[in-house]
Amino acid sequence: MRKLAITTGDPAGIGPEITSKALRFLSLNDNLIIIVYGKLYSFSDGNRIKKIEHVDQAIHPNYIYWIEIDDPKIKIGKPTKSSGEIAYKILLKCVSDLNHGFLDGVVTCPISKEAIHHSHPQFIGHTEFFADLSHTNDVIMSFWGPHFNLALLTTHLATKCVADKLTKNLIEKKLRIIFSEFQKFLSEPKFAILAMNPHAGEKGAFGTEDEVLKVILEKIKKSNIKIDGPFPADTFFAQHADKYDVIISAYHDQGLIPFKMISKDEGVNVTLGLPFVRTSVDHGTAFDIAGKNIASELSLLAAINLAEKMLKCDKKDQNNIYKNFAIFYDKYMAHVDYEKWIKFFLECFSQRFKRNPKKTLELACGTANIACELVKKGLDVDASDISSEMLKIAAKKTLRPNLFQHDMRYLLPVEKYELVLLLFDSLNYLIDYKEIEHLLENVYTTLKQNGLFIFDITTIKNCSNNFDGFVNLEDDQDSYLIHHGEYDEETSIQTTNLTFFKKKGFLFERFDEVHKQKVYNVTELVSIIEKSNFKLSAIHSIGFKENLVKSDLTVLDENFTRLFFVLEKK
């Protein structure tokens, strides 16, 4: 079992906020335990937090563990000597546990060097701090992003010192470390190096550093290392960046300006060469927005995910098909008469038990529109979804249910709910019969005696009439969505292709999601239900009063666009 620390950085900055946001609905890894060092804002739902005194107390991957290091007198957004001292204590505690082998890696949130300098003037930055206290002589500051990866020959160094620092021996030494470290994580990486001077020095007209660099590269290539350059930095990113796995920059801003512009919110700072994994957000403390609940946790999530990969933790397969669609979801579902649906569910329950359910669960809740309506009616409701992005949107709504991240295919608490809902053809995402059987077993286990499970399906009629060949365009501020649907009669698979264009800086970036649903006929589902412990008590179409369970099941698919199945646990 691996252990990963998250340091929350300066308590007056955005670190505690983005850590809380990132961890609330984070999909936890069965092979990884997460321990937070520093300040954390607790959340009422989502993942469970356990406060501990020592890392040895972190023993189960189903919790977020928290070693609190804070000073309640510190004001949010106001960096001081005290906030700098707390940030330093957090790092000292974490690096001690790293050096003792209690941790396998660390993800760091931003600190204020200025605040720390009040008490520790020798402090330069995270990279140098971890290198010094782990007794590591040579480390590489690198940045990993969705478009290109970057490595720096120097770290936090004044520009006037770069040329003197980069001696022939140091450059060769740094390059070999870069090659060795990146090869641990990338297969046969191809490198490019940027020139130090404008136009690569124009053969000595603007300095001789790049001529020396060419000699070093010729020597390096004899070791079967794939590296090209030096390239003039002013044209490289427009013409050549997409041809290489790793770009090497001589100094900090030369590479980081294009990296942060292109990889905004998705870039990760990685210190290579340490005896442990260290990743970090690629932004600062943002004191100006601290405490306003508007800071983005996306870079931190990227840093956590990359640390997991570097630690080679095998994670459960996660369905990310709603990662980009989440922001459009409520607009897409605006046509639904939620009040009519709610009335139908509660009538199904009250007709049998003469009351409302005491505890309800909505699986695959999306942005929890149904669950929120149930809460407004005074019901005690839990709601879960596999998509963290959907849950984050749900969490911003008033009168929301208790939310948690969960794959509907996995186990649930025993005998906890009287009513379980699975709506908006979520069951159709289960392509294999076995997955439906497991779902029924899990829901049966979590239902109390005489509890109800209600789910709906999209039908062949619905797919053929409304989604086969369907094309639509949606826009949402700086994002655009193209929706194209197709139905394959031979396989009974409904495919929804979603193409997103999101504005990033001056450009638009494209993302694609493919949603596949199996369109089951009624007789297939009835056969699966009959093999379970459930009793199928009703099949309904909202607005059609008759219980269809005893009618001709073979024609229901062609007569109705959506059907609701009501199952009882007797």
Q: Is residue 83 part of a domain?
A: yes
Q: How far apart are CA 441 and CA 435, in angstroms?
A: 10
Pick the more confident residue, 265 or 334.
334
pLDDT for position 486: 92
Q: Do residue 129 and residue 204 come from a single domain?
A: no
Look at residue 201 and tell me whether its pLDDT is greater than 60.
Answer: no
Strand partners, 417: 447
Tell me, yes or no, whether 124 and 189 share the same domain: no
Question: Binning pLDDT at 50, 70 and 90, where does residue 261 land?
Answer: confident
Predicted local distance difference test score (pLDDT) of residue 477:
74
**pLDDT at residue 64 above 70?**
yes
Q: Are residues 244 and 345 in the same domain?
A: no
**Same-domain pairing of 159 and 258:** yes
When comparing pLDDT for 140 and 89, which is higher?
89
Question: Within a domain: residue 478?
Answer: no
How does DSSP classify residue 187? S
Question: What local confidence, expressed as pLDDT, does residue 145 receive?
Answer: 87
By the 8 A CB rule, do 285 and 111 touch? yes
Maximum mean pLDDT: which of 264-278, 344-358, 474-488: 344-358
Give, in order, the Cα–Cα distances in Å from 460 to each of 19, 514, 517: 44, 19, 11
316 pLDDT higher than 70? no
The CATH number of residue 167's host domain is: 3.40.718.10
pLDDT exceeds cutoff 70 at 123? yes
What's the confidence (pLDDT) of residue 205?
A: 62
Residues 81 and 128 in one domain: yes
Encoded tokens for 304: 């956590």
SS3 assignment, position 486: strand
467 part of a folded domain: no
Determine, yes or no, domain membership for 508: no
Kindly tell me if the per-residue pLDDT of 452 is higher than 90. yes
Residues of the chain with pLDDT > 70, as a percent, come to 97
CA distance 143 to 148: 9
Task: Tell me the average pLDDT across 206-229.
Answer: 83
Reported confidence tier of residue 303, pLDDT bands at 50, 70, 90: very high
Query: Are residues 381 and 530 both part of a single domain?
Result: yes
Instruction: Identify which has the larger pLDDT, 567 or 544.
Output: 567
Residue 324 to residue 481: CA distance in whole angstroms: 9
Query: For residue range 10-31, what is the model confidence (pLDDT) as tens digits?
Result: 999 999 999 999 999 998 988 9
| Ramachandran bin of 119, using left for φ above 0, alpha for ψ from -120 to 50, beta for the remaining angles | alpha
Residue ranges making up the domain that contains 103: 1-136+281-316
Look at strands 360-363 and 381-385 and give their pairing.
parallel
Give mean pLDDT, residues 200-217: 75
257 in the same domain as 127: no
468 lies in some domain: no
The answer, yes or no, to whether residue 476 has pLDDT greater than 80, is no
For residue 144, what pLDDT is reported? 92
In tens, the pLDDT along 322-354 reads 888 898 899 889 999 999 999 999 999 999 999
Rounded to whole angstroms, the Cα distance separating 412 from 439 reads 10
**Nearby residues of 96 by Cβ (< 8 Å), 6 or more positions away:** none
> Both 10 and 85 in a single domain?
yes
Mean pLDDT over 421-450 rounds to 95
Q: Label residue 467 by pLDDT band (50, 70, 90).
A: confident
* Domain assignment of residue 172, yes or no: yes
**Same-domain status, 256 and 378:** no
Kindly tell me if the per-residue pLDDT of 200 is higher than 80.
no
Question: How far apart (Å, rounded) are the C-alpha atoms in residues 36 and 66?
Answer: 5
Q: What is the CATH number of the domain that holds 386?
A: 3.40.50.150
Look at 507 and 512; give whichever has higher pLDDT.
Answer: 512
| Res. 319: pLDDT tops 60 | no
Q: How many domains does the chain have?
A: 3
Q: pLDDT class for 239, splitting at 50, 70, 90? A: confident
184 and 300 part of one domain: no
Three-class SS state of 389: helix
Q: How far is CA 159 from the centre of its chain?
A: 36
Q: Is 471 contained in some domain?
A: no
Domain contains 484? no
pLDDT at 55 over 60: yes
Identify whether residues 189 and 122 lie together within a single domain.
no
Instruction: Kindly tell me if the per-residue pLDDT of 320 is higher than 80.
Output: no
pLDDT of residue 90: 97
Do 198 and 92 share a structural domain?
no
pLDDT tens profile 368-419: 999 999 999 999 999 999 999 999 999 999 899 999 999 998 999 999 999 9
The DSSP bridge pattern shows strands 471-476 and 479-488 to be antiparallel
Q: What is the pLDDT confidence band of residue 421, given thresholds at 50, 70 and 90?
A: very high
Residue 35: which of 10, 11, 69, 86 has the closest Cα?
69
- Average predicted confidence (pLDDT) for the chain: 90
**More confident of the two residues 53 and 147:** 53
- Which one is predicted more confidently, 158 or 400? 400
Cβ of 47: how many Cβ atoms within 10 Å?
17
